[in-house]
Amino acid sequence: MKIIKAIRGMNDILADDAKIMAQIQRCCETVFRNYHYQRIATPIVEKTELFARSIGAETDIVAKEMYTFEDRNGDSLTLRPEGTACCVRAGIEHGLFYNQQQRFWYAGPMFRHERPQKGRYRQFHQIGAESYGWATPDIDAELIGITQQIWEDLGLSGIELQINSLGSSEARVKYKESLVDYLMQFEADLDDDSQRRLKTNPLRILDSKSESTQNILLSAPILTDYLDDESAKEFKQLQAFLDAQGISYTINPKLVRGLDYYNKTVFEWVYPNLGAQATVCAGGRYDGLVEQLGGKSTSGVGFAMGVERLVELLKEQQIAVIDNSPDVYFISVGETARTTAFSLSQKLRKNGIIVQSHCGEGSLKNQFKRADKSGAKWALILADDEINAQEVTIKPLLSRGEQTSILQSQLLTTMATLLKA
C-alpha cells in the first residue's frame, strides 16, 4: 500500500528537537515574565483580508506564499503567515488598545508556501512579542533588549544585530521616488525579480541577492539621507538606549524588511554561519497598522524569532539539552511484582524522579537489555525474592557498582540520595 507522507516543508518534530524547542520556550517565558509581557494566543486561521490589508498586497507573503482556501461557507480564510496582524486584530476586537498600553507575547506555528530548504519551511514556529501604545523609541530598545537577554540566557553567541530607520511614510515615499529614478537608468541590467519590484515594491530591491543588482545599488540614494527630522532624532535616541544596555549593533541602511506595515525602527538579528536563512529574529515599528485595520491610531512595535533556526543554532553551538534518559528503569517479573512496581514508580515520579516502567511481559534478561538501552542511571528490580522480603533491588547501570537490596519503604529516600550524589 502507498505510504502517506507529511506535506513538503511541514516537518514532524521528533523528541530531540521537541526538547530543544521546549528549552527555547522556557527561556523566553522567563525573560517575558521579567519584562512583564502577557501571553496571548490567537487562532491559526484568520480571514484572508486581514493579511492582505496589513502585510501588503505586493509583498511576497501575500502575493505568493499564503495558504488560502474557501471554507464550507464560501469565506476566504488563510493559515496565518505571521502573528503581528493577528495580535492587532485581537487587540482591536477586544478593545485592548483603548486608552491602554499593552505588552504581549505569543508562540505558535505560522504557514508560508515558500520553497523549502534548510531553515525555511512551509510550517514553522515563531515566538514573538508586540507592544502597543508607546510612540517613543525606549520601547523599541526594550524589545531588542529582550531578544539580547534571550540569546544570553540560552547561552548563544555570535548573533549580530542590524538596525535601520525607515522614517515616516512620507519620507519613505520621497525616498522610493528617488530610488526608482536612479534604478530606471539601469533597468535592463537588474535581475528579473528586481525589474518586477521596480513597479511593485522598489524598496525590496535593496534586499536583492543578485551581485549585479547589488553593484548597481552601490551608488544608489541612501534611505538614511531621506529621514524626516523626527525619525532621525528617534533613531539616535534608540541607539543611545541600545548603548545603555550594552547592545552592539550595525546600522544597515539597506535593511527594509519584507512586510509593508513598518515605519521608523526596523531590525534583524543575523547569525552569519546559518547560510542563506541567517535571520533568526526580526521586527520593527508599525505605527499605522492599528488604524489601518480599523482601530484608533495606536503605536505598535514588535519582533518574531524563528524557532527552527534557533534550534539549529543551539545544536551548532552544542548547547542544546537533549538528555533523553530516565533516572530509573523499573524491572518487574511476575504479576504481584508488576502491580507493586506501579505503585512504587508513582511515588518516585511524584517526587520528581524520572521513571520508565517496563510494560508488558519479559524475562529478566530481556528487561535488563531494555534498561541498558534506555540510558537510565539505575535499574530497580522486583521479582519473587524481593516481593517476599518486601524489598527492592537497586543496580547501577552506568557504573560497575554492586547491586543492593533495601526495604521498599526506604526506596524514595535512598533514590533521592543516590541521584543527588
The residues binding ligand HAM (CB under 6 A) are 82-84, 112, 114, 120-121, 124, 126, 128, 130, 279-284, 302-304, 306, 308-309
Give the three cell numbers for residue 349.
515520579
Q: How far is the CB of 246 from ligand HAM (least distance, A)?
A: 23
Q: How far is the CB of 295 from ligand HAM (least distance, A)?
A: 16
Q: Which is nearer to ligand HAM, 158 or 401 (CB)?
A: 158
Q: In 3D, which of 3, 269, 5, 277 has the Cα closest to residue 116?
A: 277
Q: Which residues are CB-contacts of 395 (< 8 A; sequence separation ≥ 6)?
A: 378, 379, 380, 381, 403
Q: How far is the CB of 230 from ligand HAM (least distance, A)?
A: 20
Which residue bears the cell 533588549? 145
Q: How far is the CB of 36 from ligand HAM (least distance, A)?
A: 18
Q: Show the DSSP H helices in 351-410 as ranges.
A: 364-374, 384-389
In contact, 397 and 329? CB cutoff 8 Å: yes
Q: Which residues are CB-contacts of 91 (< 8 A; sequence separation ≥ 6)?
A: 97, 102, 104, 132, 290, 295, 298
Q: Which is nearer to ligand HAM, 84 or 148 (CB)?
A: 84
Q: Which is nearer to ligand HAM, 60 or 386 (CB)?
A: 60
Q: How far is the CB of 112 from ligand HAM (least distance, A)?
A: 5
Give the three cell numbers for residue 79.
493559515
- DSSP state letter for 202: G
Q: How far is the CB of 132 from ligand HAM (least distance, A)?
A: 11
Q: Which is nearer to ligand HAM, 179 or 255 (CB)?
A: 255
Q: Which is nearer to ligand HAM, 115 or 365 (CB)?
A: 115
Give the three cell numbers for residue 32.
517575558
Q: Which residues pair with 10 in a beta bridge?
A: 123
Q: Which is nearer to ligand HAM, 120 or 370 (CB)?
A: 120
Distance, C-alpha 39 to centroid of its chain: 14
Q: How far is the CB of 382 from ligand HAM (least distance, A)?
A: 48
> In degrees rounded to 5, what are phi and psi of residue 217?
-70, -15
Q: Which is nearer to ligand HAM, 287 or 391 (CB)?
A: 287
**DSSP H or E segment with residue 251:** strand 250-251
With CB atoms as reference, the residue minimizing the distance to ligand HAM is 306
Q: How far is the CB of 310 from ligand HAM (least distance, A)?
A: 8
Q: Which is nearer to ligand HAM, 55 or 179 (CB)?
A: 55
Q: How far is the CB of 261 from ligand HAM (least distance, A)?
A: 8
Q: Which is nearer to ligand HAM, 130 or 386 (CB)?
A: 130
In contact, 69 and 48? CB cutoff 8 Å: no
Three-state helix/strand/coil letters over 79-129:
ECCCCHHHHHHHHHHCCCCCCCCEEEEEEEEEECCCCCECCECCEEEEEEE
